[in-house]
Structure 1
C-alpha cells in the first residue's frame, strides 16, 4: 500500500495538468528505509520538444535505442512526449545527488498518461523492470485524458509495484499528515 499526503497528490496532478498534452514525470523522495514520500522533484520530460535541434536529435536517438522497434509507435503514431517520457539525465543525476546527501531514496516515481488510463504501458513495464530497478519503488501513474475515471482523491491516480515485468496494483491511502498514520512508529511532525 502507498500512503501519501494529499498535498503531494495535488502536486502530482498540478504538474500533470500543466504539462498536458505532454507527459509529466518526477519523483518523490523519502528517508532511506522508510516508505514515506516527502520531498517532491518535478522533472523535465526530455522527450518534450525543446527548440534545440541537436538535443532533440540526441533524445530521439536515445528513445529509439531504449524503445526499440517494437515500441517505437503508439496507436500508429511515432512516440513523442505526448505518449512517452524520459528523464532529463542532468536533472535526474542532480536529484539523485541531493537524495544521497540527505540519505533519501525515490519512494515514488510518477508520470502522466495523456491519452490512456492510469495503468502501466508495456514501455513503462520494460523500463521499470530494467537493471536499475528497485522493487521498493511505488510507480504512480495519473491520467489527464478528458474521460479519466476518478479513483483516488478525485483523480485517475493509481499506484503499482513493477518487479521483473510483473505489475501489481496497490491501494493508495491519501492522508493529511503522516503523524499518527499507521505506517509504523512516527512521532515526528511532517516537514512539509
Structure 2
C-alpha cells in the first residue's frame, strides 16, 4: 500500500499537465508507506517517451530526504499519451530497490489516471494507492 496526500498527488498531476507533451518526473519521500514530500525533477531527455532525472536535482533530493528523516518511497513520471502502466523501458530501467513507481497517465487529459507499481527484477506488481485528505 502507498498513501499519498491529495495535495501532493494534485501537484504531481499539475506538473504532468504543465509538462505536456513531454514526460515529467520526480521522487517522493516519506516514512513507512506514507508520502510526505514531493521532489519534482527536470527530465533531461526532454522526451514524450522516456525520462532521465537531472543527477544534481536527484542528489539534492536524496540529501534533503535524509536530512528530513525520510526514505525515498516513490519514483514518478508521466505518460503523456499512453496508459498508467509501466512500459518495457520502465521495467528495464527500474533498478532502485524497494520503491514504488507512480505513473500519471494523461491519455485522457481531462481524466488523469495515477497508478502505482513495484518493479523487481522485471516483475511488475500493482500497489494499492490511497489518497489521504
In which range does the TM-score fall when normalised by the shorter chain?
over 0.9
Deviations 1:44-65 (A, max 9, x none): 00111xxxxxxxxxxxxxxxxx
Counterpart of 1:100 in structure 2 is: 66
Partner Cα separation in structure 2 for residue 174 and residue 39 of structure 1: 14
Q: TM-score, normalised by structure 1?
A: 0.65
The size of the alignment, in residue pairs, is 133
Deviations 1:124-179 (A, max 9, x none): 11111x2xx222x111001112378x5xxxx3111101111100012211120xxx
- Residue 103 of structure 1, CA deviation: 2.3
Counterpart of 1:160 in structure 2 is: 117
1:106-117 pair list within 5 angstroms: 106-117=72-83
Q: TM-score, normalised by structure 2?
A: 0.93
- Residue 102 of structure 1, CA deviation: 2.1
- Provide structure 2 residue ranges, at least 5 long, that are not aligned to the other structure: none
Runs of at least 4 residues of structure 1 off by over 4 A? none
Partner Cα separation in structure 1 for residue 65 and residue 2 of structure 2: 20
Counterpart of 1:134 in structure 2 is: 97
Deviations 1:64-98 (A, max 9, x none): xxxxxxxxxxxxxxxxx111100111111111111
Partner Cα separation in structure 1 for residue 109 and residue 19 of structure 2: 17
- Residue 112 of structure 1, CA deviation: 0.2
Cα RMSD (Å): 1.5
Partner-residue secondary structure (3-state), 2:78: strand
Q: Which has the larger Rg?
A: 1
Counterpart of 2:11 in structure 1 is: 11
2:120 counterpart of 1:122: no
2:103 counterpart of 1:145: no
**Greater strand proportion:** 2
